[in-house]
Amino acid sequence: MLRHFAAVSAAAACAFGSPALAQETQVEEPIPAGPPETVFDGDFLSVGVGVGYNASYSGSDDYNVNILPIVQASVWGIDINPRPAGIAIDLVPDPDEGVAFSAGPMVRLRADRADVEDINDDIVAAYGELDRAVELGASVGVKFPKVLHPFDSLSFNVDAAWDVAGAHGGMFWSPSVTYFSPLSRATAASLSLSASFIDDDFADYYYTVPATNSVLPDTDLLPGFQAEGGMQSYGINLLLAHDLSGDVTDGGLSLVGIGGWSKLVNDAADTPFTSIRGNNDQYFIALGVGYTF
């Protein structure tokens, strides 16, 4: 049910260094006018690839192109949903009608500034590579169908995860709200609003700037800065998806376009990595293709 569209959207977001958009776009399939039998009613597998244009690190004003695979599936009533560089598992079966709930574990890899070659700013790169974080946590949500017409939905979701790999050693949590509506039998749109919040350990690891740096001349040194946790960002994204067969219910090949903006706030915006060397406005665009079996 357009779940392959959601997969491309979420994977695209993960390529973008945009914390507010670290939540996947929750896209649900439109219900056909005829018998409600679709490729998504039983077990299915969606695979694809996305190409995104995103900031080279959180707070950067330089942008990179990223290519990444996409996988989403449902097996025996358990949904496997994409997250930025990770997955979330929904262990709660959806009812045939009415409000649906979701809950289950999630895991993601965070690689912000983990490869100096991807940091398109020599001054920021001189402050060194960071370790990759493995974030383990949970995702919960609720979806209300038939909000404005029989085929749309409004979803609320919260992700929370903690680093278990000893990188930033902290946690984040991110609420989001998504409105989905089909525009035709072949095309659908999704609009999402999200925010992210971080603790002191997370903020210190990614946004604190040491007062000294032995590899930089004094003229290039950034001011020392001690970051603390709180709200990190907020943002919005829009997804448009089109099934090439003209019918979203039969699976097959689909095209997806997604665009978004987020704004870093508080210490994520005030750190010299952002305020001097970058920009707290973060943009991304992406195109993707997916196939559902």
For 99-133, the DSSP string reads: -EEEEEEEEEEE-TT--GGG---HHHHTT---PPE
Tell me the three state secondary structure of residue 253.
Answer: strand
0.75 surpassed by pTM: yes
Distance CA 168, CA 204 (A): 8
For residue 97, what is the DSSP state? Answer: S
Distance CA 6, CA 192 (A): 12
Q: Is the pLDDT of residue 16 over 60?
A: no
9 neighbors 49 (Cβ within 8 angstroms): no
Strand ranges (DSSP E) for the chain?
A: 44-55, 63-75, 78-83, 86-90, 100-110, 133-145, 153-163, 171-182, 187-198, 230-243, 252-264, 281-292
Distance CA 289, CA 242 (A): 10
- Tens digit of pLDDT for each residue in 150-189? 999 999 999 999 999 999 999 999 999 999 999 998 999 9
pLDDT attached to residue 35: 42
Residue showing tokens 């001349």: 217
What is the mean predicted confidence (pLDDT) over 251-268? 93
pLDDT bracket for residue 255 (50, 70, 90): very high
- Tens digit of pLDDT for each residue in 205-242? 999 999 999 999 999 999 999 999 999 999 999 999 89
pLDDT attached to residue 139: 97
Query: Quick one: fold of 3-292?
Result: Porin (2.40.160)
Distance CA 172, CA 185 (A): 38
- Tens digit of pLDDT for each residue in 82-140? 888 889 999 999 888 999 999 999 999 999 999 998 999 999 999 999 999 999 999 99
